[in-house]
C-alpha cells in the first residue's frame, strides 16, 4: 500500500501532499522522543500533536506520512514546515484507535 492509496482508502483530508511512496508500517503516539525512538522509516504516524515539532519528527524518522486524528489541524508553522520539507500530512475525524485498526487492516 502506498501513501496515496491509503489516503484514498481512508478518505483523508489533505493538508499537504508531495511524493507518493510505499507505507511499510505504522506508529501511533504523541510523546515526541518516544516516536523518535520507535517510529521506523516508511511508517504511517498517527498523532494528535499539532505543533511545529511534528514535521521535524516526521522528517527525521523518515515517516512516509502523518495522519492527524480526531479532526486535529496542524498549526500554520507545522504546515509551513511540511511544505518546505515535502512531507505528506493528512487529517481524519476518526480517533487514534480507529485509525490504527483501519491502517493495520490495510497494510
Partner 1 sequence: MSAEPLHVHYTVDGGNFTSAGEASVKVKRLLRQLGSSPEMIRRVSIAMYEGEINMVIHANGGDADVYVDDETIRIVLKDTGPGIKDVEQAMQEGYSTAPDNVRALGFGAGMGLPNMKRFSDTFKLDTVVGQGTTIELGFINK
Restricting to residues 32-91, which ones interact with partner 1 according to CB under 8 A?
Answer: 32-34, 36-37, 41, 49, 51-54, 56-57, 59-62, 77, 85
Size of the site for partner 1 (CB under 8 A): 21
Closest to partner 1 by CB, 9 or 31: 31
Task: Report in angstroms how near the CB of residue 22 gets to partner 1 at its nearest.
Answer: 14
Closest to partner 1 by CB, 30 or 98: 30
Which cell numbers in the block locate residue 92?
481524519
Closest to partner 1 by CB, 54 or 100: 54
CB atoms within 10 A of CB 94: 19
Residue 58 CA to residue 4 CA, distance in Å, equals: 17
Q: Cα separations (Å) of 96 from 18, 20, 70, 99?
A: 23, 23, 7, 5
49, 69 in Cβ contact below 8 A? Answer: no
Please give the backbone phi and psi of residue 46, each rounded to the nearest 5 degrees, phi first: -110, 125
Closest to partner 1 by CB, 77 or 107: 77
Interaction site with partner 1 (CB under 8 A): 30-34, 36-37, 41, 49, 51-54, 56-57, 59-62, 77, 85
Amino acid at each position: 500500500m502506498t501513501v496515496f492509496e491509503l489516503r484514498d482508502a481512508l478518505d483523508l483530508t489533505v493538508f499537504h501532499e508531495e511524493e507518493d511512496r510505499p507505507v511499510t508500517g505504522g506508529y501511533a503516539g504523541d510523546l515526541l522522543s518516544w516516536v523518535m525512538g520507535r517510529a521506523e522509516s516508511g511508517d504511517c504516524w498517527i498523532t494528535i500533536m499539532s505543533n511545529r515539532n511534528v514535521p521535524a519528527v516526521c522528517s527525521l524518522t523518515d515517516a512516509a506520512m502523518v495522519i492527524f486524528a480526531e479532526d486535529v489541524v496542524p498549526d500554520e508553522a507545522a504546515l509551513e514546515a511540511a511544505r518546505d520539507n515535502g512531507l505528506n500530512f493528512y487529517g481524519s475525524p476518526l480517533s487514534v484507535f480507529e485509525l490504527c485498526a483501519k491502517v493495520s487492516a490495510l497494510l
